[in-house]
A and B are shown apart, each in its own frame.
Chain A
Amino acid sequence: MFGFLWIVIALPFAGFLALAIFGGRIKKSAVAQVGVGATALSALWALCIGTRFLISPPAGYEYTQVLWSWVPVAPLMSVFSFRLDGLSLIMILVILIVASLILLYSSESMAHEEGYARFFAYMNLFVGCMLVLVLANDLLVLYLGWEGVGLCSYLLIGFHYKDPASIRASKKAFIVTRIGDVAFMIGLFLIVKNLGTLQVFGALQKASLLWPVGSPFPCAVSLLLLTGAIGKSAQVPLQVWLPDAMAGPTPVSALIHAATMVIAGVYLIARMHGLFLLSPAVMGMTACIGAATLLAAGCAALMQRDIKRVLAYSTISQIGYMFLALGVGAFSAAIFHFLVHAFFKSLLFLAAGVVIQSCNEEHDIFKMGGLRQTLPWAFWTFLIGSCSLSALPLVSAGFYSKDLIIFSVWSSTMGNGWLWLCAEAGALLTAVYSFRVVFIVFFGARRLISLKKTGLRTNLPLAILSFFALGAGFILLSVPQAVTGSFFSNILNAVFPAPALKNVAPGVSTLLHLISPAASIGGIIIAWVLFLKKPRIVQDLAQNPAGKILHTFFLEGLWFDRLYAFLFVRPFVWATGYMRRDPLVFYVKAIARSAESLHKALSLTQTGNVRWYAAGIALGAVIIMAIGVLL
């Protein structure tokens, strides 16, 4: 059964090839069937394998399938092999389920676009590369998937290639993530050089034997891998590409920039946790980056006007939570949050897509209003997503995952009170900004005419995702030892070591468990007051000059774009403008010019005067005589 693991990956690639070759020639309905079907079949197959894994797990809760030898060069004997364990099983299930639902949604929402087949081809290629990334047993194969998803992200953000904003956004995304990719590659070089293998578990075992905790090598390698993760997952300081990437179509934002590609960094750190645990400094850095990002992105999300940009900053912020969890050693909590986040974030994006399309491609939330009545389906699904995002207590899955993270931050030996405070403040902010959007878009006075009848292909995915957004918590956490019982406790914990925990007194523990729900409910109430009941408060704050500056600061993404433009873009553009005049050709032309001047000088000797020539001959004779005589 597990021997057919490769089918899971092969199906999306087959879909890509079929659509790439024949996509232009077959009908749109056939394109949709192939495009959605390839991923959906792969999802079904993954479910079968997953069920088999849970019911009768293989020895050690892991299974490795070797396909072929890839780079048989000593010492780097890289083989194309896949590994199925708790972590990768969760990843492929989430990726495939979410991808199938999003592709089903987009078969209707992208129906009027030209390049329909191209869209599905790229999406299938993306799913295939993402699966390669998460199933890879060898770091070189992982890097292959890493680069593949980067490429697909570039292709899909720039899907509307005639729109200059899309092109700029896709280039920006690619270039910024490239910085991380280079660091990643250098990290791989260090691993090969010092550990002699890129096979994940071989490398981790050797590392734990060879390198003591806190020594420079694991710190350097983990730092480089962390940089790669930051680039791909859009954390501070490389987060500038994700808000602009919203120029792509909404399903692309949902799949790539909410649910799957941006968590590749999280997956990388989780997979290489052995290496990270050897360098506590880098773990601390990860946690700090996570905390800083979640706060900064949360503040930025609070000021945005474009509905998709709010969701983009929200993604950055939630991934900050995952990084925070990874940084304090709560790997399982990070993966759990990833799982829940995939569902509710893609739900939010798809619902936002419905809203945008029905408002005639309007993105500005202040131009919308009161859409509760006209778009009920979109309203309820968006509300469910926002509840999950704000971690509404007990009801939504987001509560369980976020609470787990926040508690781990307090109780882990690698966490401290400041990080906990950041996490709690972030939870409050999350609730405020997500319900800000809900209240402004769906409540209040009607400003726009919206007409869209959404079909089954749109509503079904929304429904399924809503179910998961609410229920995923129960299924996986709150029902211990039940039907699926030992999933998280055994199978995932077989992958990760449990985090070292401080001793927390029960009273403190209860208090902490009460603060998180208070934060989320408090945030919702604050949002209700500020944006629905008394909008005057916000308007007065906006008139204040300090308020204006703060608003612009957060609106423009904490001015990171300006900083980078000043530090890197402007000098580079200046240099290219200077080189456009070909200054180096000056030196080549100098040869030609000196030849010309020599010619002009020598032609002065061509006077035409016969006696002058005779004198030249005579002088030459004198000189030669002199040389002959003197030497």
Chain B
Amino acid sequence: MTNIPMDAALVCASLLFVTGLAGVLARRNIIVVLLSIEIMLNAAGLAFIAAGSRWARPDGQIMFLFILAAAAAEGAVGLALVLRQNHSAKTIDIDAAGSMKG
């Protein structure tokens, strides 16, 4: 019987999440920002998996599946938006999308 301490799993998830967050906040390239968002979603999924294995139930993996679906959908739409912006503003700098100022 393998018993992995939950602390470790959750701390790992936190580290990944925080790393993704730092990436979202720091990078200016839109594609990298979207990438960082994927990292954060993955970290959340890891936390769910850990919870599911704690109670030996499939619910954790099911939540992970839903998160995956959402991440895929959001990635698709986000990249479409990137293409849009690149087509019109000719740049993939996220700071160029500031016309909602004020």
Residues of chain A whose beta carbon lies under 8 Å from any beta carbon of chain B: 603, 606-611, 614-615, 618
CA distance A618 to B19 in the complex (A): 12
Do B97 and A610 touch across chains, with their CB atoms under 8 A apart? yes
- Among the stretches B20-28, B53-61, B62-70, the one at the interface with A is B20-28
Do A606 and B25 touch across chains, with their CB atoms under 8 A apart? no
Question: Which residue of A is nearest B97, CB measured?
Answer: A610
Complex interface residues of chain B between 20 and 48 (CB less than 8 A to chain A):
21, 24-26, 28, 33
CA distance A527 to B99 in the complex (A): 98
Do B98 and A608 touch across chains, with their CB atoms under 8 A apart? yes
Complex interface residues of chain B between 51 and 102 (CB less than 8 A to chain A):
94-95, 97-102
Question: Which residue of B is nearest A604, CB measured?
Answer: B102
Do B101 and A607 touch across chains, with their CB atoms under 8 A apart? yes
Q: How far is the CB of B30 from chain A (nearest CB, A)?
A: 8
A-B pairs with the 9 shortest C-beta distances?
A608-B101, A608-B98, A608-B100, A610-B94, A615-B25, A614-B24, A606-B102, A609-B98, A618-B21
| B-side contacts of A611, CB under 8 Å | 24-26, 28, 33, 94-95
| B-side contacts of A606, CB under 8 Å | 100-102
| A-side contacts of B97, CB under 8 Å | 608, 610
Known contacts A603-B102, A609-B95, A611-B94, then 11 further A-B pairs from the complex at CB < 8 Å, ordered by chain A residue? A607-B98, A608-B99, A608-B100, A608-B101, A608-B102, A609-B98, A610-B94, A610-B95, A611-B95, A614-B33, A618-B24
CA distance A614 to B98 in the complex (A): 13
| B-side contacts of A618, CB under 8 Å | 21, 24-25
Q: How large is the interface on B (under 10, 10 to 19, 20 to 34, 35 or more residues)?
A: 10 to 19
Question: Which residue of A is nearest B28, CB measured?
Answer: A611
CA distance A128 to B86 in the complex (A): 96
Q: How far is the CB of B79 from chain A (nearest CB, A)?
A: 15
CA distance A603 to B100 in the complex (A): 11
| B-side contacts of A615, CB under 8 Å | 25
A interface, over-half SS: helix
CA distance A350 to B54 in the complex (A): 117
CA distance A607 to B97 in the complex (A): 10
Residues of chain B whose beta carbon lies under 8 Å from any beta carbon of chain A: 21, 24-26, 28, 33, 94-95, 97-102
| A-side contacts of B24, CB under 8 Å | 611, 614, 618
| B-side contacts of A603, CB under 8 Å | 102
Question: Which residue of A is nearest B21, CB measured?
Answer: A618
CA distance A491 to B33 in the complex (A): 114
Question: Which residue of A is nearest B95, CB measured?
Answer: A609
CA distance A614 to B27 in the complex (A): 11
CA distance A608 to B100 in the complex (A): 5
| A-side contacts of B100, CB under 8 Å | 606, 608
| A-side contacts of B99, CB under 8 Å | 608
User: Contact partner of B25 among A607, A608, A614, CB < 8 A?
Assistant: A614
Q: How far is the CB of B102 from chain A (nearest CB, A)?
A: 5
Q: How far is the CB of A629 from chain B (nearest CB, A)?
A: 13
CA distance A608 to B97 in the complex (A): 7
28 A-B pairs (CB sep. < 8 Å): A603-B102, A606-B100, A606-B101, A606-B102, A607-B98, A607-B101, A608-B97, A608-B98, A608-B99, A608-B100, A608-B101, A608-B102, A609-B95, A609-B98, A609-B101, A610-B33, A610-B95, A610-B98, A611-B24, A611-B26, A611-B28, A611-B95, A614-B24, A614-B33, A615-B25, A618-B21, A618-B24, A618-B25
| A-side contacts of B94, CB under 8 Å | 610-611
CA distance A611 to B94 in the complex (A): 8
| B-side contacts of A607, CB under 8 Å | 98, 101
Q: How far is the CB of A442 from chain B (nearest CB, A)?
A: 89
CA distance A615 to B97 in the complex (A): 16
CA distance A610 to B33 in the complex (A): 10
Q: How far is the CB of A205 from chain B (nearest CB, A)?
A: 84
| A-side contacts of B33, CB under 8 Å | 610-611, 614
CA distance A606 to B101 in the complex (A): 5
CA distance A603 to B97 in the complex (A): 17
| A-side contacts of B28, CB under 8 Å | 611
CA distance A615 to B21 in the complex (A): 9
CA distance A618 to B33 in the complex (A): 14
CA distance A165 to B99 in the complex (A): 69
CA distance A610 to B101 in the complex (A): 10
CA distance A618 to B98 in the complex (A): 19
CA distance A610 to B94 in the complex (A): 7
Question: Which residue of B is nearest A622, CB measured?
Answer: B21
Q: How far is the CB of A117 from chain B (nearest CB, A)?
A: 71
Question: Which residue of A is nearest B99, CB measured?
Answer: A608
CA distance A606 to B98 in the complex (A): 9
CA distance A608 to B99 in the complex (A): 6
| A-side contacts of B102, CB under 8 Å | 603, 606, 608
| A-side contacts of B21, CB under 8 Å | 618
Q: How far is the CB of B46 from chain A (nearest CB, A)?
A: 18
Question: Which residue of A is nearest B18, CB measured?
Answer: A618
CA distance A606 to B95 in the complex (A): 13
Q: How far is the CB of B68 from chain A (nearest CB, A)?
A: 22
Question: Which residue of A is nearest B25, CB measured?
Answer: A615
Q: How far is the CB of B43 from chain A (nearest CB, A)?
A: 13
CA distance A609 to B100 in the complex (A): 8
Question: Which residue of B is nearest A614, CB measured?
Answer: B24
Q: How far is the CB of A601 from chain B (nearest CB, A)?
A: 13
| B-side contacts of A614, CB under 8 Å | 24-25, 33
| A-side contacts of B26, CB under 8 Å | 611
Question: Which residue of A is nearest B26, CB measured?
Answer: A611
Q: How far is the CB of B81 from chain A (nearest CB, A)?
A: 11
